[in-house]
Structure 1
């Protein structure tokens, strides 16, 4: 049976069919001393800054609490990048093993973490849907809209939202709840979402719409 087309944000963000997706809020991506900050801090062309990540985490935390209160689903995506899990092409793009290693501090949550009843999915590449059971778990809950948060905007957030769009989900990006060390990439993803994939909305408006 063909589903109703949800054209407005009010329709798309009904809590019963909305999932807040938190992407890769982990120490190696977000923390001072994490893998990205350690390995790229000295880069003159593309240094990684992590100072905004604490504020992003705070805003995601507030959004997650409101989503739960409203009856929406909260999903946490977690990367584990031990080389044994990665395809050769992915390994070829790494400077060396050490990012989000299974059981390490770097793979632990940064500032915020799942609550009871949330969905947690471990992934081994940029998309949260690739070779995981995320789609099946969302379908079992009747989810039709994904509210995207986390890092990095232009890598794992982008890959997951595109994959989700191709699977038929409405896409909403929480503009002040995503971040990247690559500002041009961050802005490029937001611009592309606005034109091609969905909506870009700040967290304050999302809090109002979910409520």
Structure 2
């Protein structure tokens, strides 16, 4: 059972730079997860669950791009101020933040790394997180592990997350479940 007053939905990197097939950083599977992300957002908004949109934006010079992404990023510079809007940092309209929903820019994979997310959640009395977004083995998983380290109850909304293929997705869900995260589907919220 989810207590809406102490729960936050964390939507990670559901940005055109990771969803749009024209982007060199497109994650296979991210676009397919949009309907489930939309259901999770609808659930959160209907039940007054706090919503946090966690986004990634890179410096125009690439100084903060993860080493594993730099070669892919350097020519078109998606997710930075130097990229065309259609593959830029904006979210798909159906996932865009509403007034009052937090937007936090993160510098690396975890939504907690060098952000004020934990402090904000603590001020609100949040003890449960619903994780959604992309990519499961990087941003979702590292956020899950950090959240568990902070003693949050973590619920990963499996169909509202995505990986480069189903084998990677399945393995990461099994690992997160093994360390204590609950795995649910968006239709079960």
| Pairwise TM-score range, normalised by the shorter structure | 0.7 to 0.9
CA apart distance, 1:164: 1.0
Q: Is the 8 A contact 1:79 1:100 kept in 2?
A: yes
Query: In the alignment, what sits opposite 2:91?
Result: 109
| Contact 1:152 1:180 (8 Å CA) reproduced | yes
Structure 2 stretches lacking a partner, 5+ long:
none
RMSD: 1.8
- Contact 2:10–2:132 (8 Å) recurs in 1: yes
Rounded to whole Å, the distance in 1 between the matches of 2:23 and 2:58 is: 14
Residue 194 of structure 1: how far off its partner (Å):
1.3
For 2:187 and 2:37, locate their aligned partners in 1 and report how far apart those are by CA, in whole Å. 11
Match 1:152 to one of 135, 155, 160: 135
Aligned to 2:79: 100
Aligned length: 180
Closer/same/farther in 2, CA of residues 144 and 103 from structure 1, 3 Å limit: farther
In the alignment, which residue of structure 1 is the partner of 2:52?
75
Shift of residue 64, structure 1, vs aligned partner? 1.1
Mapped partners of 2:89, 2:180: distance in 1: 29
2:17 and 2:5 map into 1 onto residues whose CA distance is: 33
1:126-145 to 2 correspondences below 5 Å: 126-145=109-128
Q: Aligned pair 1:181/2:181, yes or no?
A: no
Distance in structure 2 (CA, Å) of the matches to 1:121 and 1:53: 20
Output the TM-score relative to the length of structure 1.
0.78
Q: Which residue of 2 aligns with 1:64?
A: 41
Q: Which residue of 1 aligns with 2:187?
A: 204
Q: Is the CA contact 1:16–1:71 (under 8 Å) kept in the aligned structure 2?
A: yes
Q: Secondary structure at the match of 2:70?
A: coil
**Deviation of 1:85 (Å):** 3.2
* Superposed counterparts of 1:40-51, under 5 Å: 49=28
User: What is the deviation of 1:28?
Assistant: 1.4
Q: Give runs of aligned pairs for residues 13-52 of structure 1, distance below 5 A.
A: 13-37=2-26, 49=28, 52=29
Task: Kindly name which structure, 1 or 2, has the bigger radius of gyration based on alpha carbons.
Answer: 1
TM-score (norm 2): 0.87
Counterpart among 164, 167, 174 of residue 147 in structure 2: 164
